[in-house]
Amino acid sequence: MSFKAATPSVLFVCVKNGGKSQIAAGLMDRVAGGAVASASAGSKPGSAVNGLSAEVLAELGIDISRNMPRRITREDQERADLVVVLGAEAQVDEVDGTLYERWETDEPGERGIEGIERMRLVRDDILERVTALHAALTRR
């Protein structure tokens, strides 16, 4: 895969940009250590980062508590090498020259698991995916 800049870049997108996409970007920043640029956005952004999302990343020493949800733009997509859409609900109008993939992440709520335990499982699922994506993007 060729990249648009010296460093590969990934844009993580979910609906509200308050949970899964923020978690994914925070985890990519940690895993990649600067070797992959990451950002996040939402198709219909909310007003704040989900408190439980921030809490489960804080358990790993990652602080997203001050991040603000924002709407995805065409420019965001044009800058990114890859746009990862998290979940089935977020819809993105694709732009030429950018790759897209959708991650159907674990949804523990469907199994009756709620609260902090639910978010830990979501975080851990996203961490596995981010780790594999980092390895694929930095393999030369």
Contact indicator for 56, 125 with CB cutoff of 8 Å: no
Q: Is 9 exposed, middle or buried (0-12, 13-18, 19+ CB in 10 A)?
A: buried
The tokens describing 87, both together, are: 């979940």
Token pair 């989900």 is found at 50
Query: How far apart, in whole angstroms, are the C-alpha atoms of residue 102 and residue 12?
Result: 10
Tens digit of pLDDT for each residue in 72-96? Answer: 999 999 999 999 999 989 999 999 9
Q: What is the pLDDT of residue 140?
A: 61
Tens digit of pLDDT for each residue in 4-20? Answer: 888 999 999 999 999 99
Q: What is the pLDDT of residue 44?
A: 96
Mean pLDDT, residues 106-128 = 95
Q: What is the pLDDT of residue 76?
A: 97
**Prediction pTM value:** 0.96
Token pair 């709620």 is found at 114
Query: How far apart, in whole angstroms, are the C-alpha atoms of residue 104 and residue 126?
Result: 10
